[in-house]
């Protein structure tokens, strides 16, 4: 059915080995004329290498496995996309498996991935801090990408939460705010401690006093942002700005401010964290710090491919910095707003609109 090396060998009159040497891009010396002819015939016949056969020989497959928590999680697709974009440059493909945070499914998925022709594995938002014994024993390179690890681990890619919180706090201070409330996530999370430190250190850096009453606890959900903001508004001197450790809590805070009869950002400015999709859809559009998910995916892919090429090793955790996305809730001037790309949906429509058939 499909054309193989043998066909090209027959057609050109050269041996299978020579053809292979040309077509597999080995740096084995082949005379220029032969190379040219082989490439030409291969193209004419539409040759595509049989990867299964190649893998069997080389034990390399140019395929990696990605074990994701759940493709429906908001941060997972962009991480995966970041990985794929990097892979794409190198001819690698990715096999994706969901774990649904179920330890059994995770183990099963790892086994599945290991039996497949994959050269390495990326764990996206994996619920453990280490891979399984099976993986360790297999000696396949593997790296972790996670937003919320409890502590630094080897070969992982994580966001720089401290830096992100500093960006947000600095921005509010630059806008003239002196009393800035902070709605935190669950205190025992590493992520939240890092963001809190970023907030505190930035205040200190600007010689602003830190008041513990300005820090409200939250649990990441909208309702806790609402409650936290309500507490902040009840303070004797209410803050003129609120920074929330994630976007849902920022949205909750906005609702609380509005329900109290105040305006965002005129009376109280709000900045969120993560750059969730809804932050550009709601009114007013939420100023936030981006979770650099696409970049994190890219860095993870790069790290993994390097280890595939050079062998497994233990590398220190890599921190990736997010960016401040200035929109409407912080009260910055229109000119200061961040220029944003049209999202993929818009692009999609733009393409389809033009080719929607008359049918």
Partner DNA sequence: GTGAAAGCGCTAACAT
Partner DNA sequence: ATGTTAGCGCTTTCAC
Specify the stretch interacting with a copy of itself by CB under 8 A; choose among 11-19, 229-237, 248-256, 304-312: 248-256
Tell me if 186 contacts a copy of itself by CB under 8 A: yes
> Whose CA is closest to 299, among 190, 158, 161?
158
Q: Which is nearer to a copy of itself, 69 or 302 (CB)?
A: 69
Q: Which is nearer to a copy of itself, 175 or 299 (CB)?
A: 299
Q: Which is nearer to a copy of itself, 138 or 197 (CB)?
A: 138
Minimum Å gap between C-beta 244 and a copy of itself is 14
Q: Which of 70, 136, 174, 340 binds a copy of itself (CB under 8 A)?
A: 70
Q: Which does 166 bind (CB under 5 to 8 A by kind): DNA, a copy of itself, none?
A: none
Binding-site size for a copy of itself (CB under 8 A) equals 80
Tokens of 331: 């009260």
Minimum Å gap between C-beta 10 and DNA is 11
Minimum Å gap between C-beta 54 and DNA is 4
Ordered DSSP codes for 100-138: TT-HHHHHHHHHHHHHSS-SEEEEES-SSSS--HHHHHH
Q: How many Cα neighbours within 13 Å face the side chain of 332?
A: 23
Q: Which is nearer to a copy of itself, 78 or 181 (CB)?
A: 78
CB 79 within 8 A of CB 125: yes
Tell me if 1 contacts a copy of itself by CB under 8 A: yes
Q: Which is nearer to DNA, 43 or 359 (CB)?
A: 43
Minimum Å gap between C-beta 33 and a copy of itself is 26
Tell me if 129 contacts a copy of itself by CB under 8 A: yes
Minimum Å gap between C-beta 56 and a copy of itself is 5
Q: Which does 39 bind (CB under 5 to 8 A by kind): DNA, a copy of itself, none?
A: none
Ordered DSSP codes for 193-233: HHHHHHHHHHHHHTTPPP-GGGEE---SSHHHHHHHHHHHH
* Residue 338 DSSP label: P
Specify the stretch interacting with a copy of itself by CB under 8 A; choose among 33-41, 55-63, 164-172, 198-206: 55-63
- CA atoms of 286 and 95, how far apart (whole Å): 35
Query: How buried is residue 281: exposed, middle or buried, by Cβ count under 10 Å (0-12/13-18/19+)?
Result: exposed
Tell me if 78 contacts a copy of itself by CB under 8 A: yes
Q: Which does 94 bind (CB under 5 to 8 A by kind): a copy of itself, DNA, none?
A: a copy of itself
- CA atoms of 144 and 131, how far apart (whole Å): 9
The residues of the shown chain that bind DNA, judged by CB under 7 A, are 2, 4-6, 13-18, 20-21, 23-24, 26, 28-31, 34, 49-50, 53-54, 56-58
Tell me if 347 contacts a copy of itself by CB under 8 A: yes
CA distances (Å), origin 43, targets 3, 14, 88, 220, 348: 11, 16, 21, 55, 32
Tally: H helices and E strands in the chain: 13, 12
> Whose CA is closest to 99, among 65, 76, 75, 67?
67
């Amino acid at each position: 059915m499909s054309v193989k090396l043998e066909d090209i060998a027959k057609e050109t009159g050269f041996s299978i080995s020579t053809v292979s040497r040309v077509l597999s891009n080995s740096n084995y010396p082949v005379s220029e004329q032969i190379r040219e002819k082989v490439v030409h015939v291969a193209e004419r016949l539409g040759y595509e290498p049989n990867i299964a056969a190649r893998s069997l020989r080389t034990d390399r497959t140019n395929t990696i496995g990605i074990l994701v928590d759940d493709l429906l999680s908001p941060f997972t697709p962009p991480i995966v996309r970041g990985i794929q974009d990097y892979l794409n440059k190198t001819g690698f493909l990715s096999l994706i498996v969901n774990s649904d945070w179920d330890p059994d499914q995770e183990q099963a998925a790892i086994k599945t991935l290991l039996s497949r022709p994959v050269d390495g594995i990326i764990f996206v938002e994996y619920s453990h801090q280490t891979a399984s014994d099976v993986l360790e024993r297999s000696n396949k390179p593997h790296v972790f990408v996670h937003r919320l690890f409890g502590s630094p681990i080897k070969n992982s890619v994580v966001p720089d939460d401290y830096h992100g919180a500093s960006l947000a706090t600095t921005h509010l201070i630059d806008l003239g705010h002196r009393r800035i409330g902070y709605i935190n996530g669950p205190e025992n999370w590493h992520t939240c401690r890092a963001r809190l430190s970023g907030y505190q250190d930035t205040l200190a850096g600007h010689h602003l006093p830190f008041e513990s009453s300005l820090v409200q606890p939250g649990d990441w959900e909208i309702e806790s942002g609402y409650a936290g903001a309500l507490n902040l508004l009840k303070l004797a001197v209410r803050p003129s700005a609120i920074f929330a450790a994630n976007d849902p809590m920022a949205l909750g805070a906005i609702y609380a401010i509005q329900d109290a009869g105040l305006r965002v950002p005129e009376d109280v400015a709000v900045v969120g964290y993560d750059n969730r999709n809804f932050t550009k859809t709601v009114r007013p559009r939420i100023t936030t710090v981006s979770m650099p998910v696409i970049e994190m995916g890219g860095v993870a892919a790069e790290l993994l491919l390097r280890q595939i090429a050079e062998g497994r090793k233990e590398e220190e955790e890599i921190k990736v910095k997010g960016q401040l996305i200035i929109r409407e809730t912080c009260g910055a001037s229109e000119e200061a707003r961040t220029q944003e790309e049209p999202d993929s949906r818009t692009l999609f429509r733009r393409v389809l609109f033009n080719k929607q058939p008359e049918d």
